[in-house]
Amino acid sequence: MRTRVGAAALAGAMVLAVGSGAGSSAAATAQTWTVQPGGPVAAKAGKTTLTDTTLHSTLTCISATMTGTLKAGSGLPGASIGSITAAAFRCQALLPVHLTALGLPWRLNFSSYNRSTGVARGTISHLRLSFTGPACTAQVNGTGGIIANGVVAVSYANNTSKLTIHPAGGNLHWVHVKGCGGLFGDGDPAALAAAYAISPPQVITSP
């Protein structure tokens, strides 16, 4: 049964996407990319959640934002095609809680493109988050080390200009958990989910 965090509610937010089916004629591993117009971008999401998938405790943020830069032009590599330089979260709880982005800049990487749907898939890497709340502190990362090595799966849809962070396909874990009343378990897998509207809208394709 899903548990909603009350006084210690955290928010989660932000991105890895695994390439779509390798056997599909419409979707294939991409070698080069075209991004238009590229340049500075802003991203805004509504409800953003971060879940301990072992204990089924869900942390909720009312909204989340990111800013960064996309490379522009054609013949671009998918790795580090974008850089996320700032991220912020507005979290919902009975008492003050704070979710802080660490490891910036995060890196946006694309690995596959489906021509029939206009959807690019990839990851956001180098992601790390710090959470503080009443009698509760924790971090979310790929491992328990100090290096930011969290990865989330993402997809970008050209028809909606939305970058979606998918709860499955990443490597996030709750680490360095102190207090928290058993809501989060040290070493438990974490699932982040959000849908960001990108401005200005981008067209991201691959041959």
Query: How many structural domains are present in the chain?
Result: 1
Per residue in 61-97, pLDDT (tens digit) is 999 999 999 999 999 999 999 999 999 999 877 778 8
Per-residue pLDDT at 97:
87
Per-residue pLDDT at 5:
43
Per residue in 157-180, pLDDT (tens digit) is 999 999 999 999 999 999 999 999
Give me the chain's average pLDDT, please: 88
Question: In Å, what is the CA distance from 198 to each residue of 29, 41, 81, 84, 185?
Answer: 24, 7, 15, 12, 33
Per residue in 9-43, pLDDT (tens digit) is 333 333 323 333 333 445 556 689 999 999 999 99
Mean pLDDT in residue range 103-111: 97
Residue the block writes with tokens 């200009």: 161
Two tokens, residue 92 = 């919902």
Mean pLDDT in residue range 95-124: 95
Tell which residue, 200, 165, 160, has the closest CA to residue 72.
Answer: 200
Residue type, 49: T
Give me the domain span that covers residue 123. 3-205
